[in-house]
Chain A
């Protein structure tokens, strides 16, 4: 038997993964969720037909979205994770003892349940006693918060799907308000490579750079993401991702990572010329 799962990166490019078995499939109130076992990527989860994460490469994503801001901000106590119902981000945050509170906001309860059942290595992060899960719309949750968080991680994907509200000007504005005066927000910035993704990448940077005094972009190689090349956004009220990187302090924590190092941290902000040009163009654009 041959069974292939195809993830469309554009209308005319697809990446196919040979599947051993489908473990789960359901249309929830918000999205279609499927779980598969494969030889190459191990177990993976897809939402509305696109791979969200796989056992094989989720470490790259989770480490990069957590350790980069944590190695910069000197005193993180309160963290908000928007999306992130799989628990991978919460798991990485769990390594930091000074964190007192981790709020995870995930509208889709079924998504969390599926991750708990099929991805216990990620979902264990949600078991940390500092974690509270709120089954709510991210925008709504933020609206009621002011000057409360040191770090906000927008772990939501797909700016065109049910998470569209998390890639808008009002989202960045509401994040700004929910952050303390030296807060940092990191977010998925998508892939700049294909034409159809480029525009949303541009818009995101434009909105973030107009909402925050410091707004930088960093990169990682994530095979299951569109084109395998993925960007993250680092928007901050006070700390610069390179000038305020405290490599010594971070190394002394002895956190075991497979992707992130403080050297890679610096390299991740060194972007290809075409990406740099694109971002600069958006920064220069008038509102």
Chain B
């Protein structure tokens, strides 16, 4: 990486130049540097609204970059050790979908773990590809999905030699990593592409002593949520491609759905964040790792909570662990993760990233200070003192192998009817059911509904998880396919 080049931020610099020229705007956006919308200026600040401008020659165009955006993307590619980098403004969802749409057509098979983000299966609804799920081992105690085991991938490849790609979730929301290098070797040996949902892994490219990142492992494409650990604005993201991918075709795919009015707030935030990461990422993430490790030790010394880390590594389903993630198992004090999550927010004014049935996840980043970590630890100690109960039996968290009866696309667009959830056993679901966060499907379109799944949904709902994806927001009923398939 060339430090002398990385100190530049071409889009940011172009915006600064434009500002100095005091151009009179007779183009969109219609708020005209905020003058037409004083309340917006009051809320966001003059500097912010004055940067909300349209694509124009001095600022390049995200749909077909030829100048400053092209330079900024090249710098990003260099910083992330990729052949090409795309700035994305539709969230990492758009990056993930562009990856899938770039390599799958209708009827193609794609190998993926069940704990994928809903954006992956949404892409399958769009393109008509068929998912082949690999069993991500579930940790029985913690109730979370683990990484993809090489043997399971090999088995799926053997059973589906015609599959076109393997998608890996790495690291997971909870920080669990798969043996990415070996998975890439195995997939490449069978002429399959490797796509990595690296939404939670921006920092892997810059920090030291962290799990391997997708590009270093030889993956073909990776979706990187710059707005998570990278520090850019919400909704901005990167799509990275490796040397064996035709990036011009990927660009065409991106432009099928990408806005033609991309926000310069998002684009410049990607540019500036890339520069920060390239210049100071190593030190920043060393600090984040230290804070997370410190929090883990302190939380574990309270007793009753289990903040897990590298001690989980088992060489297979937990090949490596991302120490910047702070996940805490809460069932031993008799509280579900979601209950602790609610208590932290309502009673202690602390907002954490997620609470599921058995765990909470606190997001530690370059913006954190040690005194805030002390607040979190202090609050957990107080929650144990005031709210701890006898641990109750947790529902079995065994992996429920989905039975894919028809493609997600066929099920999504097929004829359907609404049936009370308790009566849906044995039917084919035509919609998504997921707990949010983390947004991993319990049911996806085209899958068989079983008794176990129905029980799980009802339990999660009772515990206060936000259930999403269904037309019926109360999850009293589900849409199922009618007719024969």
Contact = CB atoms under 8 A, between A and B. Distances in A.
Interface stretch (A82-90, A127-135, A166-174): A166-174
A139 interface: yes
B386 interface: yes
Given A168-B349, A170-B381, A174-B381, A139 B375 contact: yes
Contact of A140 (B347, B374, B386): B374
B298 interface: yes
Contacts of B371: 107, 137, 139, 162, 164-165
A174 B378 CA distance: 7
Contacts of B375: 139, 164-165, 168, 170
A168 B411 CA distance: 50
Nearest to B372: A165
A14 interface: no
Contacts, number: 53
Nearest to A138: B374
What's the interface size class on A, roughly? 10 to 19
A168 B377 contact: no
Contacts of B377: 139-140, 143
A169 B374 contact: no
Interface string B441-466: 00000000000000000000000000
Nearest to B376: A170
A142 interface: yes
Specify the main secondary structure of chain B where it touches its partner.
helix
A29 to B, nearest CB: 10
B46 interface: no
B19 to A, nearest CB: 28
A171 B302 CA distance: 15
A170 B348 contact: yes
Considering the complex of A and B, which 6 residue pairs feature the smallest CB-CB distances, nearest first?
Answer: A173-B382, A170-B378, A170-B379, A139-B378, A170-B382, A139-B374
B374 A173 contact: no
Interface in A247-287: 287
A169 B382 contact: yes
A107 B371 CA distance: 10
B385 interface: yes
A162 B370 CA distance: 10
A177 interface: yes
Contact of A137 (B349, B374, B382): B374
Interface string B253-285: 000000000000000000000000000000000
A110 B99 CA distance: 53
